Amino acid sequence: MFKLHRASMRDAAKIMAVAFACAAAISFLSVYYTHQIPTYETRTSTICTYQHVGTYDYAAKLKPNIIYRKEMLKPGEGTLYTNIVEYVNLTFTYSFKSSPNPKSVEVGHRTTIQIESPARWLRTLSEAEAQELFQLSGGLNWTMQVNSTKVRQFVEAIDREIYGAARSATYSIKIKTEIHLAANIAAQAIDETFTPEITVAYKTDAEKGNHMAIENLKQTKSGAITETDLVPLPWVQNQRATSYIAAASTTAALAASALLYVKNKPPAQPAKTIEKLTAPYRELIAKTAQRPPETKTTIETETLEDLAKIAEILARPILHTTEAQEHIFYIIDNETKYQHKTKAF
């Protein structure tokens, strides 16, 4: 009954050890997994948004004409044919919008005008030349007048200086306003440059003939100020703590089940003494000091009892000798040797 109880306890301990080993492996994988998850999350919030807006506008004064039958032409109202345009009043307006509103704003600006003959030459005007040729006036928000006749005369003068004759069929006026803004919004500083640029191009083609093109009248540049915070993730810490507890618990349970398995190990069977082993066959055994002779055939028996049965059948004695702490029992039958070896003490 005790042996049966010990065996069942050992089997139960073995099952528990396997189960807890699997649970421990899963727990340690959980520990590894939770350590791959960051404990903080990066969150970006927008403190403010802002936008630069540069708006160009024009009104073209027309010569008496049949096609439009009007004196002024504004954007979207028709093509500016060079032959009927006397001059173009061009304006620029800058605005800055933000949310929330800025506490302070400082704006610097510079307007540059260039006249270009594509692939030939480029001329940057001085402030005095811009004032004389285009009547540039105002500060950040300015007005200017583009007189086609004056512009053509300026272009032809440069062509003659370079090539000896007027050669530029197409040419353009590049107007660039560079605006530098420094503002304070929501305790944050903005320091950047906005450069809206417009081109008044004198073109010629088969469909429209000679005409002026003024495009890209409204230009914007948007931006935002953001703030990045590291936000702790409590649930990750909780998962880690849970995985630690699970790993520790399953490891302890595995150790306990392994110890129980070892404690319930069946006791080793006591070795039989040579006297007890040979007692039933005392009359068949004869001790000898000689080593077993070499024979043509040697047959090993599993037990001394099997060897005793052979001795009775053959009516021969069992010879017993000792060699290197090993007991050898054997029977000689002509060229056949039957023997059994044991290390019983």
Residues 217, 14: Cα–Cα separation, whole Å: 85
Residues 21, 261: Cα–Cα separation, whole Å: 14
Q: How confident is the model at residue 23 (pLDDT cuts 50, 70, 90)?
A: confident
Residue 268 placed within a domain: no
Residue 139 placed within a domain: yes
Asked whether residue 116 carries a pLDDT value surpassing 80, the answer given is: yes
Same domain, 140 and 209: yes
> Which whole-number Å values give the CA distances from 310 to 111, 315, 329, in the listed order?
126, 8, 12
Share of residues in the chain with pLDDT > 90 (%) = 50
Same domain, 195 and 293: no
Mean pLDDT of 256-271: 69
Same domain, 192 and 338: no
Residue 193 placed within a domain: yes
The residues facing 121 across adjacent strands are 117
Same domain, 197 and 53: yes
Q: How confident is the model at residue 281 (pLDDT cuts 50, 70, 90)?
A: confident
Residue 269 placed within a domain: no
Neighbouring C-beta atoms of residue 314, cutoff 10 Å? 14
- pLDDT for 3: 46
Residues 221, 315: Cα–Cα separation, whole Å: 120
Same domain, 187 and 324: no
Q: How confident is the model at residue 2 (pLDDT cuts 50, 70, 90)?
A: very low
Residue 247 placed within a domain: yes
Asked whether residue 170 carries a pLDDT value surpassing 70, the answer given is: yes
- Asked which of 263, 282, 308 is the last residue of a domain, the reply is 263
Residue 157 placed within a domain: yes
Domains contained in the chain, number: 3
Mean pLDDT of 269-288: 80
Helix, strand or coil, per DSSP, at residue 324: coil
Most confident of 33-47, 118-132, 232-246: 118-132
**pLDDT tens digits, residue range 54-101?**
999 999 999 999 999 999 999 999 999 999 999 999 999 999 999 999
Higher pLDDT pick, 274 / 94:
94
Same domain, 215 and 133: yes
Same domain, 226 and 237: no
Neighbouring C-beta atoms of residue 54, cutoff 10 Å? 21
Same domain, 158 and 243: no
**Computed from CA positions of residues 154, 157, 159, 165, in that sequence, does the dihedral angle turn out positive or negative?**
positive
Asked whether residue 181 carries a pLDDT value surpassing 50, the answer given is: yes
Residue 54 placed within a domain: yes
Contact 272, 344 (CB under 8 A): yes
Same domain, 124 and 148: yes
Query: What range defines the domain where residue 325 resides?
Result: 274-342
Residue 101 placed within a domain: yes
Same domain, 203 and 238: no
Same domain, 222 and 117: yes
DSSP symbol at 148: H
Same domain, 29 and 117: no
Mean pLDDT of 288-311: 89
Asked whether residue 256 carries a pLDDT value surpassing 80, the answer given is: yes
